[in-house]
């Protein structure tokens, strides 16, 4: 298993320079036992002070390297803004922007080419879980990226985020999350046995200070992708502290 857990904050379309100041100052009190990633809106990336206490990520990336694509951000532009990670395939992008598995694969390829670490987000809807199709959905989402491009696997982070738990206040139980994370790791092993050991698999879906500790004790959960709670500096710090305890 990876040596250190990774706690990633997805600010979504929220944040401010004041929040940056508060969060960046608080994170200086963390030691090196946990890795922290902040993914703010792209317009805020350049306002973060350079720090060894956290990394920065973008929330999306273009499938194009450059060109006449108004409003898009290439991997090169994201990296120049100070980011070293990028989210790809978040459920909100899949839902609201109709992003396909094929498009997400292209975005991950662009991220790796630019020297960024992609965080591939996967997960099932409530209907898919109720139909007991969780594993089939996840296997399909993973295969879209790795079946034809297994070399991308070792350069990625996986974030399992059950769609029914995102922003709803409902979280998968630690046992449910562990069962799915273990399945993901088995799937990864089919593409690259070494990467399956080293790739970090995060849980995302209404993670907060109250439920994170139980999640982090599970064998195959290597950290968290935190949404709403990441906008509350004190609570986010609690989550980070729990990851290293």
pLDDT tens profile 77-103: 999 999 999 999 999 999 999 999 999
Q: What is the pLDDT of residue 165?
A: 78
* E strand spans, 59-210: 85-88, 117-122, 157-160, 201-204
Q: What is the pLDDT of residue 98?
A: 97
90 is catalytic: yes
What are the Cα distances from residue 62, in Å, to 13, 20, 70, 157? 18, 25, 11, 18
Full set of structural domains in the chain with CATH: 5-244 (3.20.20.70)
Q: Looking at residues 121-148, what average pLDDT do you find?
A: 93
Please state the φ and ψ torsions of residue 224, each to the nearest 5 degrees: -145, 150
Band of the pLDDT at 1, cuts 50, 70, 90? low
181 is catalytic: no
Query: Token pair 């982090």 is at which residue?
Result: 216
Catalytic residue among 90, 92, 124, 181: 90
SS3 243: helix
Which residues touch 54 (CB under 8 Å, ≥6 apart)? Answer: 24, 27, 36, 37, 38
pLDDT at 2 > cutoff 90? no
Band of the pLDDT at 168, cuts 50, 70, 90? confident
SS3 80: helix
Catalytic residue among 92, 99, 161, 181: 161
Average pLDDT for the chain: 94
């Amino acid at each position: 298993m990876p040596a250190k857990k990774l706690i990633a904050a997805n600010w979504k379309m929220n944040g401010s320079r004041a929040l940056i100041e508060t969060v960046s100052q608080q994170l200086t009190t963390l030691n090196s036992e946990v890795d922290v990633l902040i993914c703010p809106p792209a317009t805020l990336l350049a306002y973060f002070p350079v720090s060894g206490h956290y990394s920065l990520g973008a929330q999306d990336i273009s499938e194009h390297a450059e060109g006449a694509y108004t409003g898009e951000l290439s991997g090169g532009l994201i990296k120049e803004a100070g980011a070293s990670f990028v989210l790809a395939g978040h459920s909100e992008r899949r839902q609201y922007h109709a992003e396909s598995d094929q498009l997400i694969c292209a975005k991950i390829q662009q991220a790796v080419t630019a020297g960024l670490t992609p965080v591939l987000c996967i997960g099932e809807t409530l209907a898919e879980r109720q139909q007991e199709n969780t594993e089939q959905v996840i296997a399909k989402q993973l295969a879209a990226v790795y079946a034809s491009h297994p070399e991308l696997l070792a350069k990625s982070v996986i974030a399992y985020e059950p769609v029914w738990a995102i922003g709803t206040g409902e979280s998968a139980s630690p046992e449910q999350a562990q069962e799915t994370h273990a399945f993901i790791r088995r799937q990864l092993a089919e593409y690259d046995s070494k990467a399956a050991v080293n790739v970090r698999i995060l849980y995302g879906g209404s993670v907060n200070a109250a439920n994170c500790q139980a999640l982090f004790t599970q064998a195959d959960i290597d950290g968290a992708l935190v949404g709403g709670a990441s906008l509350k500096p004190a609570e986010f710090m609690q989550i980070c502290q729990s990851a290293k305890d």
